[in-house]
Amino acid sequence: MLKGLYTAYTGMINEQHRMDVLTNNLANADTVGFKKEGTTSQAFDNVLAYKIKDLSEAGNLPKLISTPKAADENEASFENIKNSGKVEVTELTPEERQKFVDALQPVYDEFSDDITPELLEGIRSLK
């Protein structure tokens, strides 16, 4: 009996939160700079596991930020990290990188059935 009441209670709380978010989005739709909110009625880990494995939607495919501004910001951030003195950054030579790639080949082979060829190629193309 109590389990059923708890289930009903959590369902009502979830629905109330969804309605609050929806009405807030409607009320502030014309506000400059307002960013809409969203809700979910599924557990985060279930949705994440589904989204990670579902590469059929274009939005789930891995993407690299390739705009010139993003590249400049990434480079500046990397330089700030190197110059901070708080961490030591080791950059691999092409030969060292190839040894690393060769050492990971068994991992690629093990997971090749779970990873699409496009994703695997994207991983290999990262520098």
The predicted-structure confidence for 45-102, as pLDDT tens digits, reads as follows: 666 666 665 555 555 555 555 677 777 887 888 888 888 888 888 888 889 988 988 8
Q: Decide if 116 is inside a domain.
A: yes
Within the chain, where are the H helices? 2-27, 44-53, 68-84, 94-110, 117-125
| % of the chain at pLDDT higher than 90 | 2
Q: Determine the Cα–Cα distance for residues 92 and 104; give it in Å rounded to an integer.
A: 15
Q: Is the pLDDT of residue 28 over 80?
A: yes
Higher pLDDT, 7 or 86: 86
Q: Measure the CA–CA gap between 38 and 16, rounded to whole angstroms.
A: 13
Average pLDDT, the chain: 76
Task: Report how many domains make up the chain.
Answer: 1
User: Is residue 94 assigned to a domain?
Assistant: yes
Report phi then psi at 74, rounded to 5.
-65, -45
pLDDT of residue 95: 92
Read off the pLDDT of each residue in 104-120 and give the average, rounded to a whole number.
77
53 in a structural domain: no
Domain range enclosing 108 = 90-127
The answer to whether position 45 is within a domain reads no
Would you say residue 7 lies in a domain? no
Which range, 30-34, 92-96, 111-115, has the best average confidence (pLDDT)? 92-96
